[in-house]
Amino acid sequence: DSGVTQTPKHLITATGQRVTLRCSPRSGDLSVYWYQQSLDQGLQFLIQYYNGEERAKGNILERFSAQQFPDLHSELNLSSLELGDSALYFCASSVVRGQEDTQYFGPGTRLTVL
């Protein structure tokens, strides 16, 4: 158990819909990262938050957004869903402490868009 929790574990929805994925980081970790794992793209970095502020953006679509709340949990919002958004979405957290930084991953949310 990494200490990072993600809900829900599975999500099945229809095209055009909007969903919210939730992540709680390990106790004491200030940074949260979101990654997407799909068969064709592999593991891709989406976005990073640090202590409530956006720190970096990767290959995140404009239909997707995220935020980190004062209690440090994070939510990833996916809207106008398309079939191609079906993937495993991972959250990771870290302290952010220079070269010693290590990211710990949650179990993921499997999104299926029908």
Q: Residue 13 or 104: which CB sits closer to other proteins?
A: 104
Q: Residue 54 or 82: which CB sits closer to other proteins?
A: 54
| Rg of the Cα atoms in the chain | 13
How far from each other are the two terminal CA atoms of the chain, in whole angstroms? Answer: 31
What mask, x for binding other proteins by CB under 8 A, covers residues 93 to 112?
-x-x-xxxxxxxxxxx----
Does 58 bind other proteins (CB under 8 A)? Our answer is yes
Dihedral class, residue 108 (left if φ above 0, else alpha if ψ from -120 to 50, else beta)? left
Q: Residue 51 or 80: which CB sits closer to other proteins?
A: 51
Closest to 63 measured CA to CA, from 13, 31, 17: 17
Per CB under 8 A, residues contacting other proteins are: 2, 31, 33, 35, 42-43, 45, 48, 55-56, 58, 90, 92, 94, 96, 98-108
